[in-house]
Homo-oligomer: A and B are copies of this chain.
Amino acid sequence: MSSASRFLTPHAQSLPPTVPFVGPENLERAQGHRFKARLGANESGFGPSPAAIAAMQQAASENWMYADPESYVLREAIAAFHGVGIDNVVIGEGIDGLLGVTTALTVSPGDVVVTSDGAYPTFNFHVAAHAGRLVKVPYRDDKEDLGRLIDTARREKAKILYVANPDNPMGSWWGADAISEVIAALPAETLFLLDEAYGDTAPAGTLPPLDVENPQVLRYRTFSKAYGLAGARIGYCIGNAALISAFEKMRNHYGINRIGQIAALAALNDQAYLAEAVGRIAAARDRISAIASENGLVALSSATNFVAIDCGRDVEFARSLLKEVLARDVFIRMPGVAPLNRCIRVSTGVDEHLDLFAEALAGALKTVG
């Protein structure tokens, strides 16, 4: 044990230092120059609403003030938008931040947490921080396997069941009815975390109705995806007031930046722009699918702001392809777990960047063979 690590708790000593997602800036530093197209982090290259940009610019000179630690005005607007009460909404530093507080509040060492194998690794990171025992259910036909997830939750008497719908990294989704069936079938001891980061880009009928009377379900949303404000770090969680108020026991009340709060409010109030962005995202998904086809690959259907492209062979092939696309200055990513990792994952973006991706993919395939 190093002289410094003696100060860590035994559990912290046992954890590896981990960055769940290495940023594109890290790769850029290694290669010595910037990517020409940034299509790997499921950000929105279409950017935020012009109203949000104007609001951020106006707020810059007032950034000497802390944000309201209650995020009252933003929560009020979110609550009104969703038809719930302000006490049903808590804001966090992205969904990541909220998942961190959720696990801190609910996971005791050894508690079972059920998720899909290959699903959002940052969630797993937070579970590990609290010494939860992750039980992972394989994807089935590139979708989260709801039936087996609920069976596993029941068998393991799980403390938490985590599902992303639509899902990352495959872009697949279940209809609201299927999710509602999961909710109805939850064991009494299981809290259901429903990550809807990509809900804004999903077809109508994907998101089940909000039911804040039900204390067993927490719903996670974000301004990072379709709203085009990933840099702002504003996510929110909707749930039963008793559970939402518990976040006050552990959250970093002054963790939310002021400009982000202001930007999120302006973005929420510009639903016309959101609709336009969602349309552009859908068109870009089609374009990515077309690029895949043109290159003899198969794009999976997606309800998100990215597309998983089945490269048709094994992980080594996909990895080589990824490497060659990166070498052509186009940043993309790939799933981390078999059999999902036969795919590469391409975020939607502006035409110019998809042109670069098309060129890079064709070149990469030629090189990899």
Contacts and interface: CB of A to CB of B under 8 A. Distances in A.
B259 A231 contact: yes
A43 B70 contact: no
Q: How many copies of the chain does the oligomer comprise?
A: 2
Given A15-B249, A47-B64, A65-B38, A255 B96 contact: yes
Contacts of A67: 231, 233
A271 to B, nearest CB: 18
A205 interface: no
A96 B252 contact: yes
A168 B97 CA distance: 27
A229 B63 contact: yes
Nearest to A103: B9
Contacts of A108: 9-11
Contacts of A18: 248-249
A248 to B, nearest CB: 4
A230 interface: yes
Contact of A21 (B26, B60, B104, B253): B253
Interface stretch (A138-146, A171-179, A238-246, A332-340): A238-246
A293 interface: no
B252 A63 contact: no
Contacts of A248: 17-19
A246 B8 contact: yes
Nearest to A94: B254
A5 to B, nearest CB: 6
Interface string A1-40: 0111111111110011111111101100100000000100
A116 interface: no
Contact of A263 (B10, B15, B46, B63): B63
Interface of A: 2-12, 15-23, 25-26, 29, 38, 41, 43-48, 52-53, 56-57, 59-70, 72, 93-94, 96-97, 100, 104-108, 122, 129, 159, 189, 191, 215-216, 224, 228-233, 240, 242-243, 245-246, 248-250, 252-260, 263
